[in-house]
Structure 1
């Protein structure tokens, strides 16, 4: 059951993991809901536009309850009002559904600020609530850059289960990706390939306009010239994009199965200049305020709803395209095409920033499915 579904990041990740079938979803934003229905066949499924109005008794049977409950009230970038904010109380709507239907598993996502909000009392209340419903609970802060996308996006994932034999088998993930950028393939400028440590800033829902000027990526097979030169991207070179279609290869740290993307780089006509990440470039020039400018080749500053970000290359700064933002959330181009065909750029920026990273959900889903199948086999033996 896909609650606070957005455009369907949970559903897409579990679909890729295999063995999951969605029983229904809930989403209040009409634009996100339009994208969801363009991405998935929802005919005959249960639906509700407001979880507060959801009749748990009318829901079909389901074994996994998913939800990225609204995070603005817990985010460092937000007001951090927590449960005092009406959005913060929506967690208890998930708990209400869980109490009524008793699914075997829970999978929730939120910002890391949830853990220390109000001195930890907010998270303690969440744990106490789930414990009272009979769930064992484990949680971990995972970074999307460790799951085959070049975006630094730290989120806390909460897993609940009714069967104590699940303990320690879904979380934690122990491998992290903290290495400095290292070249895997050198050569002419613009053809270098780096390991996934060359990451972008964290996407947020308000990354449209100047707030979305967050990167310059030069890779093969990028966005079409028509898309790259449309209004808002006129400073992008034809072919600029993020492309995760490179063959999987071993990194110098011995990992297998990491997809790679080009690091921030320059067009051949720009010589050997290296791009530099810039925070709030409109406030003051990078030259006069060096603390707002990273070193050449450094990762992007984390994108928030208040700061504005860009990439300095000589005098050029350009924003990420909507396609790139969805790629950074793990969506593949054939799926992205369906969203771009029906949504404005601003809506796509919002939907990408509000979403969950598909590849992270896929990895958790694979583990959850393995554990579930293992327990079923044990019970039948």
Structure 2
């Protein structure tokens, strides 16, 4: 029996474990080339997609070599090294020496019909405006229609029926369409294309998501469990949250970071002040050379401690807050959990800047294992399998016997499948008139049925379907 012919061919650069592959394969595409320099990620990719991408793009696409075959869609979640700002070079020449130059070289030689680039949000920020402009100018110089205004998306902003996931993971996408020769004089090309927008603009992630829908203990592993020290830190700050709720008569904790070490400044200044009013802390002098944001946080912390010092001092002494049991980073709390009554009811991150607590609706972006989210109600970290769900991968996705740390790393570096699926769909819709010059590729993508809707832990497709 002959297999159905692929609707288009795509290449998967900086492929990771295959987030782009999952989305484009669901559209009926065939991967004709993939490359990934991380050996463990390449093994995971090969295990699930039947193609070993292990290699180096700089060896496959340069001035002398072009090992990347012909294709219709180019996908790349590329690292972004800074481009030089010296001299008068522009476009591809200025990008030389960066990994984007290798992408540009492929585009120059192979001329894919659609280009999809993905990167961290900061690429579209003011500090990287030069790099952004070089990327846009390079694509335009090679004959592509591309919006200069950035398009930033996150899976938690997509409703579940569109493949959204409860993970705040903002990424910038650059999508471009090759201008067919027959369209080069089309007057519509004189206008700047609109930036992409994704469906579900009325979706409220704070009300719509419940992280519990994506969790189950069947895939829990020992590495997810909390250490005795971690439980101590959470128990201590959990009591602090509840005590302060009573102390502040039902008002939630302030939104600025609470720095317990700064409270010692108030105590010491109070002790030194011989004219002090008994039991009334004095606000210490702040170094005027400190950054304004730090001075602001210090003032707020001093005032907070001054207002509640009796309760805070008793709590700190009870838990040994200023002993070796609490590293400096665990003497800080960033409360972003609104009215959540207990710390154990939140989702937590152990960060260098402190313990960050959020409401248990959607998770922060997946990062390295040392900052893997802790789900308070489950009293453990999210499991590797659960992180895969948050990236839109099914429970059939196979990590083999690799270390959990490798899976966490791969998920933290990955791209969300549902976001990619929708970005491509919306790009094709926006440029439908232009893609008519490239055959049926645009129509085949527009007519595809979404196959990345969320599935319950037992694998049953939830009853969500997009409209339109």
Q: Same fold (TM over 0.5)?
A: yes
Equivalent positions of 1:207-356 (< 5 A) are 218-219=212-213, 222-224=216-218, 227-228=219-220, 230-234=221-225, 275-280=345-350, 292-294=356-358, 297=360, 300=363, 308=371, 310-311=373-374, 313=376, 317-335=379-397, 338-339=398-399, 341-356=400-415
CA deviation profile, 1:139-178 (whole Å, cap 9, x unmatched): 4101111331110111001101112679858923254366
Shift of 1:350: 0.6
Shift of 1:36: 0.6
Matches of 2:361 and 2:370 in 1, distance apart? 18
Q: The residue matched to 1:59 in structure 2 has which SS?
A: coil
Whether the 8 Å CA contact 1:301–1:309 is kept in 2: the answer is: no
Matches of 2:24 and 2:76 in 1, distance apart? 13
CA deviation profile, 1:215-257 (whole Å, cap 9, x unmatched): xx54488242xx42x3223469xxxxxxxxxxxxxxxxxxxxx
Match of 2:105 in 1: 96
Q: The residue matched to 1:58 in structure 2 has which SS?
A: coil
CA deviation profile, 1:309-339 (whole Å, cap 9, x unmatched): 654748x84211101111111001012xx11
Q: TM-score, normalised by structure 2?
A: 0.53
| Corresponding pairs, count | 287
Does 168-177 or 21-30 show the bigger shift?
168-177
CA spacing shift, 1:37–1:179, aligned 2, 3 Å: same
Match of 2:464 in 1: none
Gaps of 5+ in 1: 74-81, 183-194, 199-216, 237-263, 265-270, 287-291
Match of 2:114 in 1: 105
Aligned with 1:161 (options 177, 181, 194)? 177
CA deviation profile, 1:6-33 (whole Å, cap 9, x unmatched): 11110111112x2311111111111011
Whether the 8 Å CA contact 1:274–1:297 is kept in 2: the answer is: no
Match of 2:197 in 1: 172
CA deviation profile, 1:235-291 (whole Å, cap 9, x unmatched): 69xxxxxxxxxxxxxxxxxxxxxxxxxxx9xxxxxx99971244437887x7xxxxx
Q: The residue matched to 2:143 in structure 1 has which SS?
A: coil
Whether the 8 Å CA contact 2:115–2:177 is kept in 1: the answer is: yes
Whether the 8 Å CA contact 1:70–1:88 is kept in 2: the answer is: no
Whether the 8 Å CA contact 2:349–2:373 is kept in 1: the answer is: yes
Matches of 2:215 and 2:363 in 1, distance apart? 23
CA deviation profile, 1:25-76 (whole Å, cap 9, x unmatched): 1111110110011011228xxx5611111145333210111100015x5xxx
Aligned with 1:13 (options 1, 23, 41)? 23
CA spacing shift, 1:318–1:87, aligned 2, 3 Å: farther
Larger Rg: 2
Matches of 1:155 and 1:115 in 2, distance apart? 9
CA spacing shift, 1:221–1:83, aligned 2, 3 Å: closer
Whether the 8 Å CA contact 2:372–2:382 is kept in 1: the answer is: no
Matches of 1:358 and 1:113 in 2, distance apart? 21
CA deviation profile, 1:73-101 (whole Å, cap 9, x unmatched): 5xxxxxxxx236x9992111101111111
Higher fraction of helix? 2
CA spacing shift, 1:312–1:234, aligned 2, 3 Å: closer
CA spacing shift, 1:177–1:54, aligned 2, 3 Å: farther
Matches of 2:395 and 2:165 in 1, distance apart? 14
Aligned with 1:145 (options 132, 144, 156)? 156
Aligned with 2:59 (options 53, 64, 68)? 53
CA spacing shift, 1:50–1:281, aligned 2, 3 Å: closer
Q: The residue matched to 2:66 in structure 1 has which SS?
A: helix
Match of 1:115 in 2: 124
Matches of 2:389 and 2:97 in 1, distance apart? 29
